[in-house]
């Protein structure tokens, strides 16, 4: 049997139902469709990555009840999502060049949307980044069908898919997407990376993703119960993930936001460190530096007269009474989930700890806005591209006693590199987004490693950061990884 035929047979085994009464085969005929094998859950709630079916297991009858779940994405994703940017077609930042510049966000999918005027954002962009809103770069039109490369068609493979009633497409624009709808059934995985709206379960597993609520639910490796990987490394290098079983939990009884203001970043870090020490982290706790604090303020919608008075009073209280410097203060956003009694106890504990570091509660609405902005930040990046601004993010993990040192030095190094390259306008900001009780671009990565950080926390190494692998792990570890790669992919397809 030739190698290609072997791969087909392996895939087929993963798609066909084995001779096992405890395994039920499901068939799907909706967009992004996949046929999946669903194993019977044992004592814990689990859900498989056959994402267009919902199953309920009746332990008394030893049977499953299936319900079809329709994907929120059409088969042709470009009908709903942008072809050359982030997110939905109807959601984007728009610059209005009237008498006074102002920016709005279109669509009603986010609370910042609905063509709500953001009165401070345009001014912030001009002053911070030196943007000329008349120098606009229009995106190229979508590709025509003739511009896409010809697909490599394996007729035997497609014939096998037809036998199994699995739809497929060789259209250059079509993509495969997944959706669970667990929330409608009272359950959640709890895994919410910043790309939550558009990424897939298979992608989370393959990239070892980290979610913002890992404090309660864990990262993806803590959520996965088991997975099936086909040893067909023609495209997957180490294999192709064909099925995933994950833990699910009931939707939390309470979801509550909060926020804290600190005099400076150092006090905020000290507070988060003690929270981690006592292991009382809420679902999410994020500390943003002063630059990000002011950036968030620039994205605020217009205030009513009462809102303006309220903001003025808060400003007077923070600056005149508490003595905070507006150019040094920072903010932490909080997200609590769980039973009412547990959330109340957790809130009490965290606010008590924050008081020891001068933290001042800043309200639930500020916390909720902070997490909402997580899902529109990539839309801001797309707006920046239109005006010749390049934006990038990177991450690391570092012991708690080196957090301040690393954040200060990395920002300083980036500013130095910008100055050396005659980049007049630049904006550098950082935040502490993951709290563990053990710890929390070329020049920037060198500085990160020099300050005690590692090569990556959850973005992965990849080819872009492979030059630092030797500094990060031992030769023995690299040898072990190479041996695994050679075993799973002896023909070295990548």
In a domain, residue 135? The reply is: no
Which one of 249, 281, 309 terminates a domain? 249
String of DSSP letters for 83-114: SSSSSBTT--EEEEESSSEEEEE-SSSSTT-S
pLDDT digits (tens, 9 = 90+) for 330-344: 999 999 999 999 999
pLDDT tens digits along 183-195: 777 888 888 877 7
Q: Can you give the pLDDT at residue 33?
A: 32
Cβ atoms of 257 and 367 within 8 Å: the answer is yes
**For each of the chain's 494 residues, which pLDDT tens digit applies?**
555 565 556 555 555 443 433 333 232 222 233 333 333 333 333 333 333 344 444 444 445 454 555 566 666 677 888 888 888 989 999 999 877 889 999 999 888 888 788 989 999 999 999 999 988 888 888 777 777 777 777 778 778 777 877 666 655 444 333 445 667 778 888 888 777 777 778 888 888 888 888 888 888 888 999 988 877 655 567 778 888 888 888 989 999 999 999 999 999 999 999 999 998 999 999 999 999 988 888 888 776 544 544 565 676 777 777 788 888 999 999 999 999 999 999 999 999 999 999 999 988 988 888 888 888 888 999 999 899 888 888 777 788 888 888 889 888 888 988 889 888 888 988 888 866 555 545 566 666 666 667 666 666 676 666 767 777 777 888 888 888 888 877 776 55
Given a contact cutoff of 8 angstroms between Cβ atoms, the answer to whether 455 and 468 are in contact is yes
- The CATH number linked to 270 is 3.30.70.3450
Do 66 and 194 have their domain in common?
yes
Question: Is position 475 within any domain?
Answer: yes
Per-residue pLDDT tens digits for 447-466? 666 666 766 666 667 666 67
Question: Residue 44 belongs to what domain range?
Answer: 3-75+147-249
Burial class (CB in 10 A: 0-12, 13-18, 19+), 98: exposed
Same domain, 360 and 294: yes
What CATH number corresponds to the domain at position 405? 3.30.300
Nearest to 174 by CA among 80, 94, 85, 249: 80
Tell me how many domains the chain contains.
4
Do 84 and 50 share a structural domain? no
Residue where one domain finishes, among candidates 249, 276, 307: 249
pTM of the entire predicted model: 0.71
Asked whether residue 142 is domain-assigned, the answer is: no
278 shares its domain with 340: yes
- Shared domain check, 273 and 360: yes
Q: Is residue 473 part of a domain?
A: yes
Are residues 211 and 317 both part of a single domain? Answer: no
Do both 385 and 410 map to the same domain?
no
Domain identity same for 372 and 455: no
Tell me, yes or no, whether 261 and 372 share the same domain.
yes
Q: Is 136 among the domain residues?
A: no
Residues 369, 472 share a domain? no
137 occurs within a structural domain = no
The answer to the question of residue 204 being in a domain is yes
Measured CA to CA in angstroms, residue 42 lies from 24, 55, 190, 225 at distances of 14, 14, 20, 11
Q: Are residues 120 and 221 in the same domain?
A: no
In a domain, 431, yes or no: yes
Q: Which helix (H) or strand (E) holds 155?
A: helix 155-163
pLDDT of residue 345: 94
Domain termination site, one of 249, 280, 313: 249
Whether residues 337 and 436 fall in one domain = yes
310 CA to centre of own chain: 33
């Amino acid at each position: 049997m030739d190698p290609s035929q072997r791969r087909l047979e392996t895939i087929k085994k993963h798609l066909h139902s084995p001779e096992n009464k405890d395994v039920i085969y499901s068939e799907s005929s909706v967009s992004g469709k996949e046929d999946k094998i669903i194993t019977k859950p044992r004592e814990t709630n689990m859900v498989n990555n056959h994402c267009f079916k919902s199953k309920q297991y009746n332990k008394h009858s030893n049977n499953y009840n299936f319900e079809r779940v329709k994907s929120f994405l059409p088969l042709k994703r470009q009908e709903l999502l942008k072809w050359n940017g982030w997110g939905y077609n109807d959601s984007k930042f728009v610059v209005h060049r009237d008498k006074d510049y102002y920016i709005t966000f279109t669509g009603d999918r986010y609370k910042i949307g609905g063509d709500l005027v953001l009165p401070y954002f345009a001014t912030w962009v001009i002053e911070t980044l030196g943007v000329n809103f008349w120098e606009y770069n229009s995106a190229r039109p979508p590709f025509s069908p003739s511009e896409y490369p010809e697909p490599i068609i394996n007729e035997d493979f497609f014939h096998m898919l037809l036998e199994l009633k699995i739809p497929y497409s060789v259209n250059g624009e079509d993509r495969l997407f997944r959706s669970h709808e667990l929330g409608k059934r009272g359950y959640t995985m709890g895994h919410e990376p910043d790309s939550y709206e558009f990424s897939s379960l298979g992608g989370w597993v393959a990239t070892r993703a980290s979610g913002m609520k890992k404090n309660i639910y864990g990262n993806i490796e803590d959520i996965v119960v088991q997975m099936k990987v086909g040893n067909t490394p023609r495209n997957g290098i180490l294999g192709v993930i064909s099925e995933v079983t994950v833990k699910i939990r009931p939707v939390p009884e309470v979801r509550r936001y909060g926020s804290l203001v600190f005099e400076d970043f150092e006090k905020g870090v000290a507070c988060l460190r003690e929270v981690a020490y006592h292991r009382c982290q809420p679902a999410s706790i994020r500390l943003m530096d002063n630059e990000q604090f002011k950036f968030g303020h620039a994205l605020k919608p217009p205030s009513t007269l009462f809102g303006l008075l309220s903001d003025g009073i808060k400003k007077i209280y923070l600056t005149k009474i508490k003595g905070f410097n507006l150019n040094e203060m920072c903010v932490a956003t909080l997200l609590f989930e769980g039973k009412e009694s547990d959330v109340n106890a957790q809130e009490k504990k965290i606010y008590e700890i924050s008081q020891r570091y001068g933290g001042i509660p800043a309200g639930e609405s500020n916390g909720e806005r902070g997490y909402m902005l997580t899902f529109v930040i990539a839309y801001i990046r797309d707006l920046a591209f239109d005006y010749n601004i390049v934006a990038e993010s990177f991450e690391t993990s570092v012991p708690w006693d080196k957090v301040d040192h690393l954040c200060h030095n990395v920002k300083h190094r980036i500013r130095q590199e910008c100055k050396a390259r005659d980049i007049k306008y630049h904006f550098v900001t950082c935040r502490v987004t993951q709290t563990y009780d053990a710890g929390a671009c070329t020049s920037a990565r060198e500085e990160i490693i020099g300050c005690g950080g590692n090569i990556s926390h959850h973005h992965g190494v990849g080819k872009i950061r492979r030059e630092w692998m030797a500094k990060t792990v031992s030769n023995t570890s690299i040898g072990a990884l190479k041996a695994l790669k050679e075993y799973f992919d002896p023909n070295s397809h990548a």
